[in-house]
């Protein structure tokens, strides 16, 4: 017969936990209960002993553990109810934890696979017009006729030409402009199923010439760009609103997601809205053109904002029309697709100011001033980045409203509030393109101006 005892000591007080005896020859029992000390924490210890004499496990003497056995293990006492309970409890707990971990891993794998499948379907369903356009167009455009050069830039030459008996605009890209060609072609092609009257219309694309230059063939707008039109023409209140409203309407279309006849157009940020990238039609409405820097804001991209590279926050577009946050690189990357649209609206506000500055109805009894670009009165025709940054960012100045505009207080108040809400220093405080369109529509429905006076 061998007896045993287990004691727990904490803060100097020793308390027996288990005491008993059982028949077991495999364990060597001593005459007295000499327990081996096993520290648990700095203030508590555990003692255990095996002994042979009667009532030997009542009195206990302790010894320190041998130095050469720092990790002494104790054999489970099969006769102890507490030991069996601890063993069962620990084993059960480990089993439950293992099962929970396995289930969580399985659910995570299933969720990840399901999410990837859903994203792939979304890309196919919502962005097929853009995603599928991976290879450049290969159509042979030898039937094109180039008649005269309209504009030359560092990446492309803009020609007036003829294609199958129709006047067209031909955009011929140099080798260094291949990336812009691909981007503009893909953006314009993605809008073909849901074409809009205030966005330039792509007729075809391909290559021609000995060097196989990459070409975009677009609809021809004989009145030219908005800058040319405003330089050589003034407009009454009705025509001015037609010009302004059509620009806002075109930008609102670009920014919105459109489902039409089973086709989808994603939201698009232009990123280079200026008076040279807006064209005027014969009916004195405008179309937005030049999508070399535009960006399609796909649904799948919106979930990966943190993965976007720094190209999104670099200075992009025409300096004069660049928003303050673009100038100082403070674009909100947590919602970059919204930030890019807000930057477009800032540019829209400056364009609207230029359009209204040539409205004869706003200068009753006076000659309409010569056309000036936004900030031209303050900085001249070619501002530097530092001077524009100082004016726009540090001084927070915007184009001035002429005193003569104030003669009709209601029109002036609505117009001033609309423009100031477009170019607000805080991007979050700006109107959307759609709201700007609605404001201008209200002005059109308000009536006309004759000699500075409102007429129903």
pLDDT class of 368 with cuts at 50, 70, 90: very high
Mean pLDDT check: name the lowest of 85-89, 137-141, 347-351: 85-89
The residue length of the chain stands at 456
pLDDT class of 194 with cuts at 50, 70, 90: confident
Asked if residues 351 and 321 have their Cβ atoms less than 8 Å apart, the reply is yes
For domain 2-78, the CATH class is mainly beta
36-40: Cβ within 8 A, 24+ apart: 36/62, 36/63, 36/65, 36/72, 37/62, 37/63, 37/64, 37/65, 38/65, 38/72, 38/74
Per residue in 374-386, pLDDT tens?
Answer: 999 999 999 999 9
Indicate if the pLDDT at residue 113 is higher than 50: no
Cα torsion 318, 324, 327, 333: sign? negative
Residues near 67 by Cβ (< 8 Å), separated by ≥ 6? none
303/308 Cα distance (integer angstroms): 10
Query: Hey, is 386 helix, strand or coil?
Result: helix
Buried b / exposed e over 17-56, threshold 16 CB at 10 Å, is ebeebeeeeeeebeeebebbeeeeeeeebbbbbbbeeeeb
Can you give the pLDDT at residue 139? 76
Indicate if the pLDDT at residue 22 is higher than 90: no
Can you give the pLDDT at residue 449? 63
Closest among 413, 451, 418 to 435, alpha carbons compared: 418
Can you give the pLDDT at residue 207? 81
Higher pLDDT, 436 or 337: 436
Indicate if the pLDDT at residue 286 is higher than 60: yes
Per residue in 144-185, pLDDT tens?
Answer: 899 999 998 888 999 999 998 899 999 999 878 888 899 999
Provide the 8-state DSSP code for 178.
Answer: H
The distance in angstroms from the start CA to the end CA of the chain is 116
Indicate if the pLDDT at residue 425 is higher than 70: yes
Q: Which residues are catalytic?
A: 272
Other beta carbons within 10 Å of 165: 7
| Residue 331 CA: distances (Å) to CA of 57, 317, 344, 378 | 77, 14, 12, 26
Region 11-39 average pLDDT: 68
Can you give the pLDDT at residue 334? 76
Query: Hey, is 335 helix, strand or coil?
Result: helix
Higher pLDDT, 333 or 419: 419
Buried b / exposed e over 119-155, threshold 16 CB at 10 Å, is eeeebeebbebbbebeeebeeebeebeeeeebeeeee
Region 130-146 average pLDDT: 70
Cα torsion 14, 18, 22, 28: sign? negative
CA angle 220, 221, 223 (to 5 degrees): 145
Region 272-279 average pLDDT: 97
Give burial (CB, 10 Å; 0-12/13-18/19+) of 115.
exposed
226-455 CATH fold? Transferase(Phosphotransferase); domain 1 (1.10.510)
Indicate if the pLDDT at residue 311 is higher than 70: no
Q: How is residue 377 written in tokens?
A: 């009165």
- pTM of the predicted structure, to 2 decimals: 0.69
- Most confident of the following: 49-53, 197-201, 305-309: 197-201
For the chain, the structural domain boundaries read 2-78, 85-126, 145-219, 226-455
* CATH 3.40.50.300 for domain 145-219: no
DSSP 398-428: -PPPPGGGGGSHHHHHHHHHHHHHHS-SSGG
Cα torsion 343, 345, 346, 351: sign? positive
Secondary structure element (H or E) that encloses residue 276, with its range:
none
Per residue in 338-361, pLDDT tens?
Answer: 999 999 999 999 999 999 999 999
């Amino acid at each position: 017969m061998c007896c045993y005892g287990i004691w727990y000591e904490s803060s100097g007080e020793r308390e027996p936990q288990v005491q008993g005896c059982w028949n077991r020859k495999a364990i060597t029992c001593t005459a007295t209960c000499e327990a081996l000390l096993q520290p648990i924490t700095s203030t508590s210890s555990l003692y255990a002993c095996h002994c042979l004499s009667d009532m030997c496990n009542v009195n206990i003497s302790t010894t320190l553990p041998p130095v050469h056995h720092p990790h002494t293990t104790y054999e489970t006492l099969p006769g102890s109810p507490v030991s069996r309970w601890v063993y069962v409890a620990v084993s059960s707990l480990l089993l439950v934890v293992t099962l929970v971990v396995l289930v969580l891993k399985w659910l995570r794998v299933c969720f990840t696979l399901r999410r990837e499948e859903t994203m792939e379907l979304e890309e196919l369903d919502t962005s097929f017009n853009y995603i599928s356009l991976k290879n450049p167009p290969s159509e042979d455009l030898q039937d094109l006729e180039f008649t005269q050069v309209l504009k030359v830039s560092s990446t492309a030459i803009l020609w007036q030409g003829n294609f199958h008996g129709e006047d067209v605009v031909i955009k011929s890209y140099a080798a260094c402009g291949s990336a812009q060609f691909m981007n503009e072609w893909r953006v314009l092609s993605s809008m073909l199923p849901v074409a809009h009257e205030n966005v330039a219309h792509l007729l075809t694309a391909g290559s021609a010439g000995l060097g196989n230059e990459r070409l975009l063939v677009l609809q021809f707008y004989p009145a030219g760009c908005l800058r040319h039109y405003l330089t050589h023409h003034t407009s009454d209140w009705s025509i001015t609103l037609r010009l302004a409203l059509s620009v806002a309407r075109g930008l609102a279309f670009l920014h919105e997601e459109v489902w039409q006849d089973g086709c989808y157009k994603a939201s698009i940020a232009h990123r280079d809205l200026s008076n040279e990238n807006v064209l005027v039609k014969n009916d004195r409405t405008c179309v937005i053109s030049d999508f070399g820097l535009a960006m399609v804001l796909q649904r799948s991209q919106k979930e990966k904002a943190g993965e976007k590279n720094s190209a999104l926050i670099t200075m992009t577009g025409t300096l004069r029309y660049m928003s303050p946050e673009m100038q100082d690189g403070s674009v909100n990357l947590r919602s970059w697709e919204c930030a890019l649209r807000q930057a477009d609206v800032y540019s829209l506000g400056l364009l609207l100011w230029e359009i209204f500055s040539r409205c004869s109805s706003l200068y009753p009894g006076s000659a309409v001033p010569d056309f000036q670009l936004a900030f031209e009165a303050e900085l001249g025709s070619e501002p530097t980045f530092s001077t524009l940054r100082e004016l726009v960012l540090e001084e927070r100045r915007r184009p001035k409203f002429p005193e003569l505009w104030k003669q009709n207080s209601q029109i002036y108040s609505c117009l001033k509030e609309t423009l100031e809400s477009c170019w607000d220093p805080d991007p979050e405080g700006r109107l959307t393109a759609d709201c700007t369109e609605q404001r201008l529509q209200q002005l059109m429905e308000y009536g006309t101006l004759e000699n500075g006076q409102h007429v129903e």
